Amino acid sequence: MKINIEEEAQKFYAKHYPYASEKEMDKQIKDWQNKIKAGEGLADFFSERVGRLAGKKILDVGFGSGGVSAAFSLAGAVVWGVDVEPDLKDIAERNVAANGGKADLKIYDGKKLPFDDNFFDYVICCSVLEHMTFPQEVLKEMFRVLKPKGGILLTLPNKYYPKETHTLAYFVSWMPRKLGNAYLKILKHSPLEYDNLHFYSYFDIVKMLGKTGYRYELLYKKSDQTSAPKKFLISALKKLGIHYTVLLKQLIFVIEKK
């Protein structure tokens, strides 16, 4: 089953984001084209911290175009996925199949995950939480459907990185929402509501995780600490109870459910 992912991206964004600038459209199309490769990198990153993926039951929360689901399937995982956008389901299913993967994809209400407690070995949510209307509820649901000692891979843009990664506008994520939308209007970019876009810092996410009611641990990996300065910085942050992802352009959390 063949799929022209560039053409599908153009059609989807023309329908759902009619006010997107040409630069924004180009970025989204490139993101879809590169999603499987990026997903393979995430699969490697995740497996180094939690263990083998082959044969493990994984939930992809916010499957989008299906690229990340495809990458984890190709790594040997048994993949399920959920998203709120019905138009994406057909695209994602064809994209996964066209690349030799398998995934059971479902549409859900953006709050309640349609799975039993302790069902999955791992849950992944990559560049999706910033688009959620109910992020706190969904984080709690991720823990609910995850087995004890299971892992969550959570990635999203860092609010404090100067160039916002969706609108490509500098400092818009630092501004009050009303001012940010006025700024984007001047730049002739889409308003934040069109992408249901929200901005979070490391500390915002840690606060949300704490409110889930579940015990968890943020996982480190010793090979991350190769150079002496980096080792010192990571160790110093760890003593303060802060994960080094606080410094990154893209916040990356690997979370173990206790």
Q: Is residue 169 part of a domain?
A: no
Q: Is residue 185 part of a domain?
A: no
- The count of structural domains within the chain is 1
What's residue 226's pLDDT?
58
What's residue 233's pLDDT?
76
Could you report the per-residue pLDDT of 187-238, keeping only the tens digit for each?
A: 998 899 988 999 999 999 999 999 999 999 998 765 554 567 777 777 788 7
Q: Is residue 240 part of a domain?
A: yes
- Domain that includes residue 34, residue range: 5-157+196-257
What's residue 25's pLDDT?
87
Model confidence, pTM: 0.92
Could you report the per-residue pLDDT of 122-137, keeping only the tens digit for each?
A: 999 999 999 999 999 9
Q: Which residue ranges of the chain lie beneath pLDDT 70?
A: 1, 221-227
CATH of the domain at 23: 3.40.50.150
Q: Is residue 170 part of a domain?
A: no
Which residues, including other chains, have CB under 8 Å from residue 51's CB and lie 6 or more apart? none
Q: Is residue 162 part of a domain?
A: no
Kindly state the percentage of the chain with pLDDT values over 70: 97
Q: Is residue 174 part of a domain?
A: no
Q: Is residue 14 part of a domain?
A: yes
Q: Is residue 179 part of a domain?
A: no
176 burial class (0-12, 13-18, 19+ CB within 10 angstroms)?
Answer: exposed
